[in-house]
Amino acid sequence: MINYTSFPNIDTKNLLLRRIVQNDVHDLYAMRKDPSMHIFTDTKADESIEETSVYMDQMNKGVDHKKWLIWAIEHKQSNKVIGTISIWNLNKDEKSGELGYGIIPAYQGQGLMQESLLSVVEYGFEQMNLEKLLAYTEECNGLSINLLVKCKFVEIGRVDEQGYTNKQMYRLVVYQLER
């Protein structure tokens, strides 16, 4: 389903969405060690730069095996990686994928994730020929819900999910956007 010869960079007004590279380790560690980045997810903060490096290697292996796409979100003005966005959980039969995203708090509320999300949605529909994209977000994550609504996603359901890492119950709102 993911068919490309070289990793698909996406250039927007303020951002460059590109493959994660080893030089990103400090920026990604700063993001992944921040406890506020894990409030609404079943993940834990990275305790070392080595943990972030292992994560980066795992993400790039999945890209190499065409299991998913994950982009580093590079802010053009600062040349810093300020987040990530991905299309994963691909379903060939339904021609669907799931979105995952995160942006560091200092860059939230500036429209940058919306810019990123809309460009990835366009890539998913136009280049990957997906028919629908899904996004699961915790019901208390107002910023994520507002983002999805602004981008014309529609709520299609709710799911309770037991966390493995944090051992808590998550109430997820499921959003969908169709081509």
Sheet holding 80-91, edge to edge: 10-11, 15-18, 69-75, 80-91, 96-103, 132-138, 169-178, 154-162
Give the pTM.
0.93
What pLDDT digit, counting tens, does each position of 88-137 carry?
Answer: 999 999 999 999 999 999 999 999 999 999 999 999 999 999 999 999 99
State mean pLDDT over 145-153.
97
CATH of domain 10-130: 3.40.630.30
Tokens for 107, please give them. 């860059």
What three-state secondary structure class fits 175? strand
Question: E strands within 13-111?
Answer: 15-18, 69-75, 80-91, 96-103
What pLDDT digit, counting tens, does each position of 27-54 carry?
Answer: 999 999 988 887 787 688 899 999 999 9
Report CA Rg, the chain.
16
